[in-house]
Structure 1
Amino acid sequence: MSTEEEFDQCLGSFLGNEQSIALLLDYDGALAEIPDRPELSVIPPETKETLRNIVNSGKAFVAIISGRSADDVQEKVGIANIIYSGNHGLEVLHPDGTRHNQAIPKAVSDNFDRMIDQLNEEVAHNGAWVQNKQFSISLHYRDMDPRLVPEMVQKARRIIESHGYRADSAYQVLDGNPPIEWNKGRAAEYILGANFDKDWKRRKVIFAGDDATDEHVMVLLKGSGKSFRITRGQDVESSADFKLSSTKSVYQMLKWLEKKLCV
């Protein structure tokens, strides 16, 4: 879906006459296209302008929950008065500069640098490379010969787990995350609860994300909010209420919200 009529149909009755919403968004694959390397990511100017207008309307609480570090996604988006949550929710950076970070067991965090060193030495070759996100790592292998990927991923998974971290697969990425019960859904629940109240489910909450890690937010909002999974594959199983085909469709959804809120 991408037209105003389609968003009228899927969001119009949900919002009704409500003029205050909570908008949660992923960054990569939702607000911006996924580039060959993370540092090359750029949010389109029109998307940034529309999102800023929504924030400045005074009618929307906005949080971005990303796999990037909180500082990285804040720099990429560059809009004030947004909560930026990084490392799949492990970090929460508030507009006033205060932070809430999930505690990582010292016995595990002490292994972080050694894990990166071993990955760089033993598997970060032939197009694979390690991204240090301060609390977690991402091993990218988009540019690697596909024939070499299975063996490399298997070895990297063993290394990550040997250092006490959890190895999680994403699109052409293997993440090394701390072994704590936390994810984007838990982060969204914390953010909404901390900024509203225990009855936050009565709020009009909208979320859009493109990855399997975003499904935790979609499950959280099932039956109370509305969520969108960005995917070109209509056969992709998802707990989202609706599917969008691209970041351009996310932009159209934001334009629809801008028109409703900025009056």
Structure 2
Amino acid sequence: MAEQKKAPILKKEEDFIKNLEGFINPAEDQVALLLDYDGTLAPLTEELSAMPKDNEINIKKLATNEKIFLCIFSGRELADIKNHLKLPNVTYAGNHGLEVEYPSGKKFKIEMPEELLEKHKKLVEELREKVVCSGAWVEDKKISVSYRYKGVNDKLKSKLVETAKGIIQSHGFQLIETPYALEGKPRVNWDKGEGAKMILEKQFDADWAKKLKIIYAGDDTTDEDAMKMLSGIGKTFRVSELPTLKTYANFQIKTPEEVGYLLQWLQSNYEKKKKL
């Protein structure tokens, strides 16, 4: 059984080459590249932000490669991430994979119970009303929620955090604490692991794990569910600057800029194959 542990930190191009060389054979392997957007490909901000230029260049190149199935996840709505990126040949997974659109235009959406959606709405409203101030903000992930307080001064922080904890728990959501955020997750059998599995099954059938080399990268506690599901199957990367991070991922990357080395490693492997 997979356990969370401290993962090796990859922080320069040579680290990726050393640890990943031999993982894929561009002449034979189909790759499923599953990437979170906010905090992974681009800095996490209240509104969707732009990718670092190198990430943008490599994502565009990877999206055109027929040997790579590229899926970009977001906790935001499908239309938001799709309209922000406007990339063809990409599968978009909004709301943590609850709504998905393939490049063919084929879509599917999983409906959450109305009662849960109403509870979530009330939770977000109360958090915004009572604890959004002084740089703290709420990230509405449609079925889960994050209360982010990294920029709040220490004097005010403890009061806001304690109030937010009480609000999340009072609405019946599971509370997960991280150094700069509180996560509220609904007590339902759905997460990014389920989302990733469903997307891969619909694209590659039930035996997808035998057909693919899988790479997954994400920065959030919600991504840990996918990393746990893919343990022993693919290569997974948690994006975080925390020095004491424990994760299901194989490797830790500190910033979206350094995620660029992962994209460059993959792109250069397939670029070499094209030139042969």
TM-score of the pair, normalised by structure 1: 0.85
Contact 1:228 1:243 in 2 (8 A): yes
1:13 maps to which of 15, 19, 22? 22
Deviations 1:169-214 (A, max 9, x none): 4563334444321111111111111110211112100112223222
The number of residues matched between the two structures is 261
Aligned counterpart, 1:251:
260
Percent identity of the aligned residues?
36
The answer to whether 1:103 aligns with 2:106 is: no
Secondary structure of the residue aligned to 2:21 is helix
> Which deviates more from structure 2 when the two are superposed, residues 192-201 or residues 233-242?
233-242
Contact 1:43 1:77 in 2 (8 A): no
Deviations 1:97-147 (A, max 9, x none): 444333322223234444343333333334333344444444332333333
Secondary structure of the residue aligned to 1:38 is coil
1:174 maps to which of 161, 179, 182? 182
Secondary structure of the residue aligned to 2:135 is coil
Secondary structure of the residue aligned to 1:232 is coil
The answer to whether 1:26 aligns with 2:36 is: yes
Contact 1:170 1:211 in 2 (8 A): no
Contact 2:52 2:256 in 1 (8 A): no
- Give the letter for the 2:46 counterpart: P
* Gap runs ≥5 in structure 2: 1-9
2:159 maps to which of 128, 151, 156? 151
TM-score of the pair, normalised by structure 2: 0.81
Question: RMSD in angstroms over aligned alpha carbons?
Answer: 2.6
Runs of 4+ in 1 over 6 A off after TM superposition: none
Aligned counterpart, 1:53:
61
- Give the letter for the 1:140 counterpart: R
Q: Shift in Å at residue 95 of structure 1?
A: 2.8
* Gap runs ≥5 in structure 1: none
CA gap 1:169/1:92 in 2 versus in 1, 3 angstroms:
farther
Secondary structure of the residue aligned to 1:25 is strand
**Which of the pair has the greater relative contact order for Cα pairs under 8 Å at 6+ separation?**
2
Q: What does residue range 125-144 of structure 1 map to in structure 2 within 5 Å?
A: 125-144=133-152
CA gap 1:167/1:14 in 2 versus in 1, 3 angstroms:
same
Aligned counterpart, 2:191:
183
Contact 2:46 2:137 in 1 (8 A): no
The answer to whether 1:220 aligns with 2:229 is: yes
Secondary structure of the residue aligned to 1:62 is strand
Contact 1:136 1:176 in 2 (8 A): yes
CA gap 1:125/1:234 in 2 versus in 1, 3 angstroms:
closer
